[in-house]
Amino acid sequence: MSDIYAENMRRHEVESPISDTSFIPPSSSNSPPSPTIADIGTGTGLFLSRLAPNYPDAILHGFDISPNLYPPPDSLPPQISQSILDINDPPSSSLHKKYDLTHIRLLAAGIKPPRIETHRAESPHASQTRWSHSMGRM
């Protein structure tokens, strides 16, 4: 286990009790039975780890700019995968129209000003997402 992961687990443990299904938007009842969910800025994967028991048939994919905070893959539920994604770069076309839910939090500070204008249009979930959710202020 890397030191940065161990340090961030303290935050993970503090947030875990408050990061439950109460953060899922009400429209989630309209979601498909096996949704494909992206977590942008996943960090330690807390959101997806808490979501997994409630959506056992979901495909859960966490993205972050660096894998430094990712927990070991064998410590995650099998439906969770993790990938590197820099929100300041255009997303791969393979990600377009792929997700039913995109969970985004606190990314406004990390998006370079020239990209803010085009971010929404280039978002991999722009025209497919049925519901989305943001924790924190943007």
pLDDT of residue 10: 60
In which region does residue 24 sit, left (phi positive, over 0), alpha (psi from -120 to 50) or beta (all else)?
beta
- Of 79, 4, 94, give the one whose Cα is nearest residue 43: 4
Rounded Cα gap, residues 126 and 120, in angstroms: 6
Question: In the chain, where are the structural domains located?
Answer: 3-21+32-131
Average pLDDT score, the chain:
72
pLDDT of residue 137: 36
Q: Is the pLDDT of residue 126 over 70?
A: no
- How many percent of the chain have pLDDT more than 90? 20
pLDDT confidence bin for 60, thresholds 50/70/90: very high
Q: Which CATH number fits domain 3-21+32-131: 3.40.50.150, 3.30.1360.70, 1.20.1070.10, 3.40.50.720?
A: 3.40.50.150
Q: Is the pLDDT of residue 14 over 90?
A: no
Q: What is the mean pLDDT of residues 75-102?
A: 87
Top pLDDT among 112 and 33 is at: 33
Q: What is the mean pLDDT of residues 30-48?
A: 85
pLDDT of residue 135: 46
29 Cβ neighbours under 8 A, 6+ residues apart: none
pTM of the model: 0.69
List the beta strands (DSSP E) in the chain.
Answer: 36-40, 59-64, 80-84, 101-105, 131-135
What are 69-86's pLDDT values in tens digits?
Answer: 899 989 999 999 999 998
